[in-house]
């Protein structure tokens, strides 16, 4: 449990982006008094107050030590990224709610909603392939025969975590994307490239099979003005705050694909019409995500929390 605690300098996933963004905004004098440990404990600084910043679900390997009060006492605070995650840690390693604080994820907002004017309906998937790409690709292939105006951008690879070997089982799926005339497969790209594409897309198509504790991909997509189609699973209902087109999750992948396809089909029809009422709802969505998930808001919460611990 107490070894080196450094994230891979080449990893560019959500946890790494969050840690970089937090340190870039914290008062340096305040930051020097705390060691903020993202998810996995490998070493403890003896001269600073320690914050365990949980991003993952509780696991035997990484979270079972929290069952013991003596281990929890090593930290001045335990921060969760969602209320869903806090409930998991209270139920599984039995961390008392009194010892946890929920400070939700944050992003750099996209700014005011920009109505889409394209005669194409653009879909995007911008997370790792294990979280639902195997459902999305055949569903898109099916819907593409019904909707000649839809396109899909796929940003997906474990190389974002500097873990290219993990891509091997998904290479046939990547090739399937490359072979389709209306799918653009981009692999892993810097966050700035993904954000630029999000600002032009209509729908974040996310048949999620992972019970995520939160979802930065959804937060960015919805802040950019994309409609989000995803299963009501894990922390997604909380993250999306009733703006997403949710459908009931099922472990049966065939049934999941059918449910996802039905909702995505209807959303494509909705987007194509570009009705004024729907545009107003998307504007309200962007305003909400800009206000609630902005770093300007979250850094004030972090500042108050850390100063309270001093």
- Do 276 and 164 fall into the same domain? yes
Q: Residue 183 is part of a domain; what is its CATH number?
A: 3.40.50.2000
What is the rounded CA–CA span in Å between residue 189 and residue 153? 12
- Do 57 and 82 fall into the same domain? yes
CA R_g for the chain: 20
User: pLDDT tens for residues 105-164?
Assistant: 999 999 899 899 889 999 999 999 999 999 999 999 999 999 999 999 999 999 988 888
Q: Give every CB contact of residue 136 below 8 A, 6+ residues apart in sequence.
A: 125, 152, 205, 206, 207, 260
Q: Give every CB contact of residue 72 below 8 A, 6+ residues apart in sequence.
A: 66, 78, 95, 99
- Do 30 and 176 fall into the same domain? no
- Do 70 and 163 fall into the same domain? no
pLDDT at 6: 37
- Do 26 and 99 fall into the same domain? yes
User: pLDDT tens for residues 212-241?
Assistant: 999 999 999 999 999 999 999 999 999 999
Q: Give every CB contact of residue 251 below 8 A, 6+ residues apart in sequence.
A: none
Asked if the structure places residue 114 within a domain, the reply is no
pLDDT at 134: 98
Residue 184: pLDDT band with limits 50, 70, 90: very high
What is the rounded CA–CA span in Å between residue 152 and residue 154? 6
* Nearest C-alpha neighbor of 109 from the set 293, 300, 303: 293
Residues in the chain: 310
Token pair in block for residue 277: 């009422």
Asked if the structure places residue 8 within a domain, the reply is no
Taking residues 263-288, what's their average pLDDT?
A: 95
Inter-residue contact 124 to 226 (CB < 8 Å): yes
- Do 266 and 237 fall into the same domain? yes
- Do 167 and 99 fall into the same domain? no
- Do 151 and 233 fall into the same domain? yes
Taking residues 64-68, what's their average pLDDT?
A: 96
* Nearest C-alpha neighbor of 178 from the set 154, 143, 200: 154
Q: What is the pTM of this model?
A: 0.93
Q: Pick the residue with more confidence: 9 or 307?
A: 307
User: What residues make up the domain containing 226?
Assistant: 121-292
- C-alpha distances in angstroms, 120 versus 7, 144, 256, 273? 40, 12, 26, 11
Taking residues 57-69, what's their average pLDDT?
A: 94
Token pair in block for residue 169: 């089982």
- Do 205 and 140 fall into the same domain? yes
- Do 186 and 252 fall into the same domain? yes
If you average pLDDT over every residue of the chain, what do you get?
Answer: 94
- Do 146 and 283 fall into the same domain? yes
Asked if the structure places residue 262 within a domain, the reply is yes
For helices 216-223 and 276-292, angle between their N-to-C axes, nearest 10 degrees: 130
pLDDT at 280: 94
- Do 41 and 172 fall into the same domain? no
Inter-residue contact 147 to 116 (CB < 8 Å): no
The total domain count for the chain is 2
What is the rounded CA–CA span in Å between residue 262 and residue 274? 19
């Amino acid at each position: 449990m107490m070894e080196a605690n450094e994230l891979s300098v080449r990893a560019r996933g959500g946890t790494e982006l969050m840690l970089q963004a937090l340190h870039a905004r914290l008062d340096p004098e305040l930051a020097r008094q705390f060691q903020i440990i993202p998810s996995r404990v490998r070493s403890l600084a003896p001269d600073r107050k320690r914050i365990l910043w949980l991003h993952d679900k509780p696991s035997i390997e990484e979270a079972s030590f929290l069952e013991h009060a003596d281990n929890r006492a090593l930290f001045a605070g335990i921060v969760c990224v969602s209320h869903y995650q806090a409930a998991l840690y209270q139920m599984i390693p039995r961390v008392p709610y009194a010892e946890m604080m929920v400070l939700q994820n944050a992003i750099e907002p996209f700014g005011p909603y920009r109505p889409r004017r394209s005669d194409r309906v653009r879909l995007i998937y911008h997370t790792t392939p294990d979280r639902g790409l195997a459902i999305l690709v055949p569903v898109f292939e099916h819907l593409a025969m019904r909707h000649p105006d839809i396109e899909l951008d796929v940003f997906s690879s474990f190389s974002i975590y500097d873990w290219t070997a993990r891509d091997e089982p998904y290479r046939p799926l990547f090739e399937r994307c490359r072979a389709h005339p209306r799918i653009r497969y981009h692999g892993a790209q810097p966050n700035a490239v993904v954000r630029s594409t999000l600002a032009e897309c209509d729908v974040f198509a996310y048949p999620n099979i992972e019970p995520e504790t939160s979802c930065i991909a959804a937060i960015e997509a919805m802040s950019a003005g994309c409609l989000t189609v995803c299963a009501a699973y894990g922390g997604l209902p909380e993250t999306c705050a009733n703006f997403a087109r949710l459908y009931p999750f099922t472990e049966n992948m065939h049934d999941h694909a059918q449910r996802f396809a039905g909702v995505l089909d209807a959303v494509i029809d909705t987007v194509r019409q570009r009705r004024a009422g729907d545009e107003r709802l998307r504007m309200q969505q962007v305003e909400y995500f800009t206000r609630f998930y902005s770093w300007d808001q979250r850094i004030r919460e972090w500042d108050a929390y850390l100063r309270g611990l001093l």
